[in-house]
Amino acid sequence: MADVDVIRVAGPARLNGTVGVVGAKNSALKLMAAALLAEGGSAVTNVPRITDIALMGEVLRRLGADVRFDTALDGSGTVEIGVPATLHHEADYDLVRRLRASICVLGPLLARTGKARVAHPGGDAIGSRGLDMHVGGLARMGAEIGSEHGFVLAEAPFGLRGAEIWLDFPSVGATENLLMAAVLAKGVTEIDNAAREPEIVDICRMLTEMGARIDGAGTSKLTIEGVDALQPVRHATVGDRIVAGTWAFGAAMTQGDVTVTGIDPHFLDIALDKIAQAGGLIETRPDALRVQMDQRPRAVDVVTLPYPGFATDLLPMAIGLAVVSDGVSMITENIFDGRFMFVQEMVRLGAEIKTDGHHAVVRGRPLLSSAEVRATDIRAGAGLAIAGLCTDGPTTVRHAHHIDRGYPDFVADLRALGVTAERLEALPDPEYTFE
């Protein structure tokens, strides 16, 4: 039997108190990759202390960069990245398969070295996420793209050139890769139907500080005028809206009162509106939000969409709210075809959920029943743990290492919010068998 990490929480319990969030995982990883675009020493601050950051650091080291981590008192970190004049161009399979975000080194490597060999990515099991838009956009910029032995091979023997690129879908990953390639390309690149997430704006801000010429950050059309070279910078990562949203929904699910600091509430406008529709009281200030729920939540419907729509990463929390709400909710997932993989684990807690394609119909219950469940990805793990606070006893979440990839101090934060939570020694996984 294989050993698995375990988090145990005790229900029923209310989240109550103040919790801070640090930089966004989905931004910090890409900012680290962006540092490859400039020779010299760059620093990314307000970085979360999570497994994925360490993995990305190792990816950069193997490309030739010197990477050092420093932890601040608030739990955030700083990554110092020394980038040499000459980079290696291959990102190893053993790391890339564990971290999908490492595919974002493709654009910077192609821009800096004229070639890249990057393993096909891994990451969370939440459905297919192809690289067609990455490849198609880079090809329009003059790259020759192929695939062999599990690697994406890219080469731009005559350098990258500006191009007009239309994305079939506002893909965050494709927007980031094409953006980072375009800043050193010859001429002007236009990316239409670009992603608009705050993390995209953050990377545009860092690149601009490095000397890039970018117009349209935060809109669906990015215009990038290529420059000859960029300069290293020190840049602070934007606050993590998904972690903040997790605690906001946690307050609503547990009929609690939680203040979240370190986040711009506007990043969560639609999510907070859904909580308000469910009966929550919302207060905001420029760098914080507060959610109070003084009654059993009312059922609300949720549809995930690209930003500024409801974030797909918050879907497990939306389902968590629905399973304890008064009434029937319809939850629709439009981004990832495997996002509902965790639903059977929620059912083990007594939730009443029926799925059909990309829809889930949820009939809420006043109280769930404690059980042993398994985290299938980062956000599902967090959602299951918080749902465990809405049960009649102790709930155990196995494969908690998934949660560690997105939440720096999840158990400590739960305790700070007044509930009983503990990290247990690795336990045997009964679902693992040798063949």
**7 annotated as a binding-site residue:** no
H-assigned helices in 210-309: 241-253, 269-277
366 CB-contact burial (10 Å; exposed 0-12 / middle 13-18 / buried 19+) = exposed
Domain finish residue from 188, 211, 236: 236
**Sheet of 359-363, strand order:** 302-303, 328-332, 359-363, 352-356
**356 and 225 in a common domain:** no
Residue 112: name the closest of 207, 181, 190, 179 by CA: 181
**Sheet of 257-261, strand order:** 16-20, 257-261, 288-292, 281-285
**100 annotated as a binding-site residue:** yes
φ, ψ dihedrals at 114, nearest 5° = 80, 0
**46 annotated as a binding-site residue:** no
Q: Could you tell me if residue 204 is inside a domain?
A: yes
**301 annotated as a binding-site residue:** no
pLDDT in tens, the chain (435 residues): 455 699 999 999 999 999 999 999 999 999 999 999 999 999 999 999 988 898 899 999 999 999 999 987 666 799 999 999 999 998 877 777 777 777 899 999 999 999 999 887 654 443 444 688 998 999 999 999 988 877 888 999 889 999 999 999 999 999 999 999 999 999 999 999 999 999 999 999 999 999 999 999 999 999 999 999 999 999 999 999 999 999 999 999 999 999 999 999 999 999 999 999 999 999 999 999 999 999 999 999 999 999 999 999 999 999 999 999 999 999 999 998 888 999 999 999 999 999 999 999 999 999 999 999 999 999 999 999 999 999 999 999 999 999 998 999 999 999 999 999 999 876 666 543 323
**391 and 327 in a common domain:** yes
What is the reported pLDDT for 120? 76
What's the whole-model pTM score? Answer: 0.93
Number of domains in the chain: 2
What is the reported pLDDT for 123? 41
**264 and 200 in a common domain:** no
∠ CA 28-32-33, nearest 5°, is 120
Domain finish residue from 216, 236, 256: 236
What is the reported pLDDT for 127? 40
Residue with token string 């609300």: 300
Q: Could you tell me if residue 434 is inside a domain?
A: no
**386 annotated as a binding-site residue:** no
**81 and 55 in a common domain:** yes
The answer to whether the beta carbons of residues 231 and 210 sit under 8 Å apart is yes
What is the reported pLDDT for 3? 56
Q: Could you tell me if residue 281 is inside a domain?
A: yes
**197 and 65 in a common domain:** yes
**122 and 105 in a common domain:** yes
Q: Could you tell me if residue 435 is inside a domain?
A: no
**41 and 113 in a common domain:** yes
Catalytic center residues = 124
**344 and 211 in a common domain:** no
**317 and 211 in a common domain:** no
Domain finish residue from 192, 220, 236: 236
**169 and 219 in a common domain:** yes
**332 and 216 in a common domain:** no
Structural domain of residue 208, as residue ranges?
25-236
Domain of residue 161, CATH code: 3.65.10.10
**348 and 278 in a common domain:** yes
What is the reported pLDDT for 433? 33
